[in-house]
Amino acid sequence: MPKLTIDGKEVDAGANLNLIQAAELVGIEIPQYCYHPGLTIVGNCRMCLVEVEKAPKLQIACNTRVAEGMVVHTKSDKARTAQKAVLEFLLINHPIDCPVCDQAGECKLQDYYMDYDQQPSRFPLPEKNHKGKAIDIGSGVMLDQERCILCARCTRFFDEVTKTSELAIFERGDHNRIDINPGQPVNNKYAGNVVDICPVGALTEKEFRFRMRVWYLHRTASVCGGCERGCAIDIHHHRGRIYRFKPRFNPGVNSYWMCDEGRHSFPALQNETRLTSPLVQSKDQLVTEPWGEGIRRAASIIADYRRRYGPNSIAAVVDAQSTNEEAFALKQLMKTAIGSDRIATLSWSPPGASGDDDLLIRANKNPNARGLAALAIPADGLDGLAAAVASGELKMLIAMRADLVRALGEEEFVRRFGALDYMLVLSSDANETCQMANQVWPIAAYPEIDGSFTNFKGRVQRINAAFPPPGAAIAAIEAIARLGHALDGVDRPSSADAVFASMTAAEPAFKGLSLATLGEHGADLAS
């Protein structure tokens, strides 16, 4: 392990680290544009020039490996002069259109100008080079060539990560411009990543443009619910609305990236169809009722069925969109408060959805299919439930997040489950299954709750509540706890941490884990 000194601080660095990474270890930020840890090093921006003792010239930190005894100065006069100069060069032909630029507020040109430059322009505005603006390059990405600093992060992403090379640099010198090949727009399921890694406002997202100033956005760490990969994300939100998903680095899951399907999956989480009140079927119509009445009604129906037909007349279907905690809480409720062992998983992906690819996208569009399997909730239990309905043993169904009508088709649903006496549906949205239900409980969507998902490789990752659910909707685990209490008077845990704790005690697969210690990268299942 080489020991070196950066700005007077001793650093014990890994042998393969570059100076940017080594400096990070002791909390020193070396400014950078072209360097990205997920891409090869090109060293073209020259922003990370630092002074290395005994080297004849300033060195770029990104392409300089640590070495024993190296003495590095990132803030010496020479380094500062070079860093300030690079910013001056970068801004010569930059349009300085921050007031109308979506990147403003998260722009490395702005940030570093304040940190390293702060001098008035010495270049007359009318002489700036002009290039293309607001070019729709495809896949929802907009290009402004004048704002571009030619760091080549985007071209490297398409060259190295997706290996599709849709973008290239054309012309030369200060006429250089990023562009698509003529007539070949970007058509790439990962295109949004080039917007993320663009350090300036050259690449922006069509859907996000002009929607929100980024300094109003709050970030909440979460996991994309778009498929069983479970890419780590940050939810960017403001006043209870999600404005965008951004990938969050997780080396064991998604590296720095996410797919565009996942990226654009958030509008479905805040549709007009969101349920805001408990509902009950009355004269062929769903009408609202207070939670208290809904809980009491469901509890008395369950008690009634248990008495008349036995506990196995009641079953539950848990959708693989549910969190580990939701699934475990419902499984426990079925076992302890109802005494039924009838529980099944619905793990359904819409027909025509994208299949597995070599990068991130998975055909199974559920974020927690593996979690339900780890909780031993049978994946093929639906047929058994249908048979029990047919034989008259099964009378009541509790469906959590499971849109059975959409998954099976209305005809098939009616054929299999039409004979049920009673259906309680816990759902975030008013879907077709709700229309068939006797009772509907509005529950929080995953951006609104704490909890965890287990991805297809068994990595358990934490999700966090970004904001409260709409209206009277509550977290599903809270609804389950209240129902349980109404059934047997026992207090059940209703916070995600507490449910997780009982889960690790009861479920061998989750042994040794705790929600608090999952960290930003999550942890693998015990088995």
Partner 1 sequence: MERILTRWLDIPDLRKLDVYVGNGGYKALRKALFDMKPEEIINEVKNSNLRGRGGAAFPTGVKWSFIPKDSKKPVYLCCNADESEPGTFANRYELELDPHGIIEGIAITCRAVGAHIAYTYLRGEFTVQKRILDAAIAEAYASNYLGKNILGSGFDLDVFTHRGAGAYICGEETGLLESLEGKRAYPRNRPPFPAIQGAFGCPTVVNNVETLANVPHIINRGADWYKSIGPEKSPGPKIFCLSGHVNKPGLYELPMGFPLKDLIYDVGGGILDGKALKGVIPGGSSFPIFTAEEAVKVNMDFESVRAAGSLMGTAGVMVMHEDTCMVDALKTIAHFYHHESCGQCTPCREGCGWIEKLVTEIEAGRGKMEDLKVLIDAASNMEGNTICVLADSLSMPVKSFVPKYRDEFEAHIKLGRCPFKDRDGKAGGLSAAAGH
**93 or 340: CB nearest partner 1:** 93
In the list 37, 38, 43, 458, the residue contacting partner 1 (rule: CB under 8 A) is: 43
- By CB under 8 A, the residues from 166 to 195 that bind partner 1 are 168-169, 171-176
Q: State the Cα–Cα distance between residues 196 and 257, nearest whole angstrom.
A: 9
CB of 49 to partner 1, least distance (A): 6
96 near partner 1 (CB under 8 A): no
Q: Where are the beta strands (DSSP E) in 214-313?
A: 218-223, 232-238, 241-247, 279-282, 285-288
**86 or 301: CB nearest partner 1:** 86
Burial, 380: exposed, middle or buried (Cβ in 10 Å; 0-12, 13-18, 19+)? Answer: exposed
216 near partner 1 (CB under 8 A): no
In the list 4, 6, 17, 47, the residue contacting partner 1 (rule: CB under 8 A) is: 47
- By CB under 8 A, the residues from 266 to 305 that bind partner 1 are none
60 near partner 1 (CB under 8 A): yes
In the list 5, 24, 26, 63, the residue contacting partner 1 (rule: CB under 8 A) is: 63
In the list 93, 433, 454, 504, the residue contacting partner 1 (rule: CB under 8 A) is: 93
In the list 30, 45, 223, 402, the residue contacting partner 1 (rule: CB under 8 A) is: 45
CB of 174 to partner 1, least distance (A): 4
Contact 90, 31 (CB under 8 A): no
Q: State the Cα–Cα distance between residues 443 and 425, nearest whole angstrom.
A: 10
| Stretch of 7-15, 36-44, 187-195, 243-251 lying at the interface with partner 1 (CB under 8 A) | 36-44
50 near partner 1 (CB under 8 A): no
Concatenate the DSSP letters of all residues of 497-519 into one string: HHHHHHHHHH-GGGTT--GGG-T
Contact 187, 193 (CB under 8 A): no
- By CB under 8 A, the residues from 143 to 162 that bind partner 1 are 149-150
CB of 46 to partner 1, least distance (A): 5
Two tokens at 408? Answer: 């099976």
Distances (CA, A) of 504 to 91, 460, 511, 516: 55, 12, 5, 12
Identify any residues that bridge with 232 across adjacent strands, giving them in sequence order.
223
DSSP H helices in 310-430: 324-332, 369-374, 382-390, 404-408, 410-417
CB of 117 to partner 1, least distance (A): 12
**83 or 349: CB nearest partner 1:** 83
89 near partner 1 (CB under 8 A): yes
Q: Side by side, which strands form the sheet with 141-143?
A: 135-138, 141-143, 203-205
In the list 4, 28, 90, 344, the residue contacting partner 1 (rule: CB under 8 A) is: 90
**85 or 419: CB nearest partner 1:** 85
46 near partner 1 (CB under 8 A): yes
Two tokens at 66? Answer: 């640590």
Q: Which residues contact residue 312 at a Cβ distance below 8 angstroms, ignoring those fewer than 6 apart?
A: 340, 341, 342, 388, 393, 394
Burial, 190: exposed, middle or buried (Cβ in 10 Å; 0-12, 13-18, 19+)? Answer: buried
42 near partner 1 (CB under 8 A): yes
Beta pairing, strands 314-319 & 396-400: parallel
CB of 40 to partner 1, least distance (A): 10
Q: State the Cα–Cα distance between residues 337 and 316, nearest whole angstrom.
A: 13
CB of 200 to partner 1, least distance (A): 12
Beta pairing, strands 59-60 & 49-52: antiparallel
**169 or 388: CB nearest partner 1:** 169
**142 or 150: CB nearest partner 1:** 150
Contact 80, 12 (CB under 8 A): no
In the list 3, 14, 81, 524, the residue contacting partner 1 (rule: CB under 8 A) is: 81
CB of 59 to partner 1, least distance (A): 10
CB of 85 to partner 1, least distance (A): 3
**127 or 491: CB nearest partner 1:** 127
Beta pairing, strands 3-6 & 71-73: parallel
97 near partner 1 (CB under 8 A): no
**25 or 92: CB nearest partner 1:** 92
H/E element, 6:
strand 3-6
41 near partner 1 (CB under 8 A): yes
In the list 13, 20, 82, 197, the residue contacting partner 1 (rule: CB under 8 A) is: 82
Q: State the Cα–Cα distance between residues 422 and 399, nearest whole angstrom.
A: 11
**58 or 227: CB nearest partner 1:** 58
| Stretch of 10-18, 57-65, 215-223, 428-436 lying at the interface with partner 1 (CB under 8 A) | 57-65
**119 or 184: CB nearest partner 1:** 119
To 10 degrees, what angle do helices 476-488 and 291-309 make?
Answer: 50
Specify the DSSP class assigned to residue 321.
Answer: T
Residues of this chain that interact with partner 1 (CB under 8 A) are 41-47, 49, 57-58, 60, 63, 81-82, 85-86, 88-90, 92-93, 122-123, 127, 129, 149-150, 168-169, 171-176
